[in-house]
Structure 1
Amino acid sequence: MKKQFVILIVLMLLNKFMWACEVCEQQQPKITQGITHGTGPQSNWDWVIIGVVAALTLVTLILSIKYLIKPGEKNGNHIKQTILTNFEDAR
């Protein structure tokens, strides 16, 4: 119970810093208002960079989950099998 209380307090304190302040909110374009600090993207190239980075991050996340769940290696000595075996033992 004490651990949950501490986590709740920490999350409540972090909430203040997670969202943009009023000054930063006015400097942002509508799509990012309220969620980021500082000035928004200055040109269309900034949006291209943001899109490419977001796409790469999403692809990386999907592939890492895919290869963690189904490693494709049938050899029992492969490092991926060691990770999966330890995960199943922990359950």
Structure 2
Amino acid sequence: MSQHVFLRGMVAIRLFSALAELTGALLMWRFQRLETAVRINGLLGLVGPLVLTTTMALGLAGLAQSRLPAARLVWIGAGVGLILWGTRR
């Protein structure tokens, strides 16, 4: 499989994420209610870690295919894990 497939997947997920964020902002503007805006923001907050994890998994899969040393893949994966752990509530 070509690295372009992984890259396109990462780009598509990030574009979907951007579209979700923009839609959320427009819905907040449309409803003009603080309670509704907080709910929408909460839903968007759930999407962020999922997008990060999915795009990184695709990127790591693409890097693994290009014969990047296993030790580097472990370090990258550990970094992503630390980001997720450090931002948990």
TM-score, normalised via structure 1 length = 0.33
Between Structure 1 and Structure 2, the one with more helix by share is: 2
